[in-house]
Structure 1
Amino acid sequence: MDRGKDPASEPSSAPSRYESQKRRDWNTFGQFLRSQQPPAELHRCTSAHVLEFMRYLDQFGKTKVHLLGCVFYGQPEPPAPCTCPLRQAWGSLDALVGRLRAAYEEHGGPPETNPFASGEIRVYLREVKEFQAKARGVSFKKKKKCGAGKSDDQSTSSS
């Protein structure tokens, strides 16, 4: 029998960074729901609550997102400060939703009604990503995969 380390059988002295962050996120989301008027219950949470939570978190963001009228709109490294707001970065929101999606199911929520996995959340995240990319002059385009010996401008498939 293999006596190698089996992470599942060893008692964990401390939760991983991911597990700790997931627990903090879940608790923060629960506090947010309880602070609503009227307070919302976790088992009745909808994608509307999740969207409201993500918009609420924007006030604590650290990413400068230039507004359409700003002279630095579309510049990745503006030469001077401006008054555009700080927001949550798209990547942070995406990771947050992933952790909350997992936490929801770990706390007994059925996957088919998981508000963090709804289409509205995916659309919102895509819109935030696209807006921030334009506003900050950052490209999030997917890299094309190509086989050995093929260049990007050669196409061998017809769609």
Structure 2
Amino acid sequence: MSSNKGKDIAEGSSRAGDNAPDQQNPPPLSRYESQKRRDWNTFGQYLRNQRPPVALSQCNANQVLDFLRYLDQFGKTKVHLQGCVFFGQPEPPGPCTCPLKQAWGSLDALIGRLRAAYEENGGLPETNPFASGAIRVYLREVRDSQAKARGIPYKKKKKKRNPMKANDESSSFHMQ
């Protein structure tokens, strides 16, 4: 027997010849799962830091909207204001004093992860504050205002229709 057996077990390793049972380490979390866990913990911390603190069970769309606005201070996307000389220009030629904000795509992905995490942590789908209509409206307004500020109209991608499905009935023939 190895003199380091206690150390090996504590470190999660096993040596050949030791009759220690295999200690299964859970597989590492995917990038998405890791980010979802970080986002969930960050949101929980945000609620605990409110005065007075807000219990997750008492959380509603207003706290989620406040959280999204709070995150803007850490954003890296320049969003030109209406009066800025670069408003509506996709590639402004110089710097300006317009604020940096969270990009719409980042907020949209964040809400998706938090929506999933809420239900994975025991929340009911019908009470999910991240699935609120107010959140969808806010995200749409952010998307539209950022697109307008950058002079890039947002166009929703249309789903491509499968031409074979549309012609299934007309393309089949009957042998007589």
TM-score band by shorter chain is 0.7 to 0.9
Residues 3-152 of structure 1 aligned to structure 2 (within 5 Å): 12-144=26-158, 145=160
Q: Secondary structure at the match of 2:53?
A: coil
Q: Is 138-147 or 106-115 further displaced after alignment? A: 138-147
In the TM superposition, what is the alpha-carbon distance from 1:111 to its structure 2 partner?
0.3
- Residues 46-82 of structure 1 deviation map (CA, whole Å, 9 limit, x = unaligned): 0000000000000000000000000000111000000
User: Following the alignment from structure 1 to structure 2, what is the Cα–Cα distance between the partners of residues 43 and 63?
Assistant: 33
CA RMSD, Structure 1 to Structure 2 (Å): 1.6
User: Following the alignment from structure 2 to structure 1, what is the Cα–Cα distance between the partners of residues 67 and 138?
Assistant: 12
Residue 97 of structure 1 aligns to which amino acid in structure 2?
Answer: I
Residue 28 of structure 1 aligns to which amino acid in structure 2?
Answer: T
TM-score of the superposed pair, with normalisation by structure 2: 0.75
User: Following the alignment from structure 2 to structure 1, what is the Cα–Cα distance between the partners of residues 45 and 154?
Assistant: 33
Which aligned runs of 4 or more in structure 1 are off by greater than 2 angstroms? Answer: 10-13, 142-148
User: Following the alignment from structure 2 to structure 1, what is the Cα–Cα distance between the partners of residues 153 and 106?
Assistant: 17
Residue 55 of structure 2 aligns to which amino acid in structure 1?
Answer: E
Q: Secondary structure at the match of 1:52?
A: helix
In the TM superposition, what is the alpha-carbon distance from 1:137 to its structure 2 partner?
1.3
User: Following the alignment from structure 2 to structure 1, what is the Cα–Cα distance between the partners of residues 76 and 39?
Assistant: 17
Structure 1 unaligned regions, length at least 5: 1-9, 149-159
User: Following the alignment from structure 1 to structure 2, what is the Cα–Cα distance between the partners of residues 146 and 86?
Assistant: 39
TM-score of the superposed pair, with normalisation by structure 1: 0.83
In the TM superposition, what is the alpha-carbon distance from 1:140 to its structure 2 partner?
1.7
Choose 1 or 2 for highest CA Rg. Answer: 2
Structure 2 unaligned regions, length at least 5: 1-23, 164-176
Residue 47 of structure 1 aligns to which amino acid in structure 2?
Answer: A
Residue 56 of structure 1 aligns to which amino acid in structure 2?
Answer: Y
